[in-house]
Amino acid sequence: MSIETAIGDRIEAAATALSDRIYPLQIPAGAAFPNAVVQRIATRRDATLGGPNGVARVRVQVDIFAKTQLQARALADAVRGLLDGFAGTQSGVVVQDSLLENEHDLFDEQTGIYRTILEFQIRFEE
């Protein structure tokens, strides 16, 4: 199981407004709002003097898309609560720690859609 899938599963299990609307990399055409996209944007693998130790540090971006700023912010706050500081097992992936590193809001004037971007640094066992 990938870390992206595990993160998506964690969000989907708790954020009912996003149930079945969490996608990898991009939103499919015609998808209902609100929705979210989960993607890995960087990976660094830890090592010891003996070589790789099976632990990876990834930067995962979660983009929340909604028709109102209030809804985008509420969902982003819910996702932050689920992932910031999380350590444990999710969908078979052992997460050692998760930390919110960046967060910002955007508005697309062409589509009228609000977007909140959350970036997490996550350390997990591969």
**For 54-92, what is each residue's pLDDT tens digit?**
899 999 999 999 999 999 999 999 999 999 999 999 999
The CA R_g of the chain, rounded to the nearest whole Å, is 15
Looking at residue 32, which CATH number applies to its domain? 3.30.2000.10
Range of the domain at 89: 3-125
Question: Is residue 18 over pLDDT 90?
Answer: no
Helix, strand, coil fractions of the chain, as percent rounded to 5: 25, 50, 25
pTM of the predicted model as reported, rounded to 2 decimal places? 0.91
Q: With 80 as the cut, is the pLDDT of residue 45 above it?
A: yes
Structural domains counted in the chain: 1
Coil, strand or helix: which one is 19? coil
Q: Hey, is 32 helix, strand or coil?
A: coil
Per-residue pLDDT, 121: 98
Which tokens is 81 given?
Answer: 């609560």
pLDDT number for residue 58: 97
For residues 15 and 27, the model is more confident at 27
Please report, for residues 43, 56, 60, 112, 113, the alpha-carbon distance to residue 103 in angstroms, rounded to integers and kept in the order given: 19, 22, 12, 20, 17
What's the pLDDT at 19?
82
